[in-house]
Amino acid sequence: MTIDYIDFLRDLVIDLLAIYIFAFVIFYRRYGDRDMTIMLGLLNLFLFTIVITMTMTEFTLAAGFALFALLSIISLRSVAISKIEVGYLLGAITLGLVNGISIHDYLLLFLCNVVILGGTWVLDAKWLMKQTMEVDVTLDEITSADLKDRAKLAERVQALHGLPVLYVGVEKFNAKKGSVRLSARLRLD
């Protein structure tokens, strides 16, 4: 099998441009998280290299399973990352896969990148959805009867934080101490 280095360079340039827009222009400008931005870029670059190697060489099924076994050792479970960061992580993986499989239909390749980058830009736009945050709150002087009135609980949480409360959930109630631990979602204005 002969390797077409022009296709390799084309795919690499497209992938680097896409991950630059995705990780640096969109993610970093919105969140300022340098570590996550670097991780998105490196993960994409490593995945691109793996996929391009698999598609441009005689990569056997056994080698693929061995590679999968090695990659499964890597675990992010010890690091707590947000739902948004998980979304961006999956986006970086997708860009690496799409741009690494040597799609020869340039229009399809362009459209895939536009869908991923444009979708990310729009779905994570501040003008589309108001930003929220989750907080854990402990309230004292609560009875079991107070737990039935969620509006009253929400009022107390709003008085503590000064932000509109979208949701209040009871996590734990301690009848002896008369306290409740709540999880609440607040809208950031």
pLDDT in tens, 110-159: 888 998 999 888 888 777 667 778 899 999 999 888 888 889 999 999 99
The H-or-E segment that residue 38 falls in is helix 34-56
Contacts of 75 (CB under 8 A, 6+ apart): none
pTM for the structure as a whole? 0.58
Phi-psi category of residue 141: left, alpha or beta, with phi > 0 → left and psi -120 to 50 → alpha: left
Per-residue pLDDT reduced to its tens digit, 159-170 = 999 999 988 989
Quote the pLDDT of residue 1.
Answer: 62
Angle at 115 between CA 111 and CA 119, to 5 degrees: 165
Angle at 140 between CA 135 and CA 143, to 5 degrees: 110
Residue 59 is encoded by which pair of tokens? 């990569």
| CB-CB contact of 109 with 103 (8 Å) | yes
Name 185's bridge partners. 134, 167
CA distance 104 to 4: 12
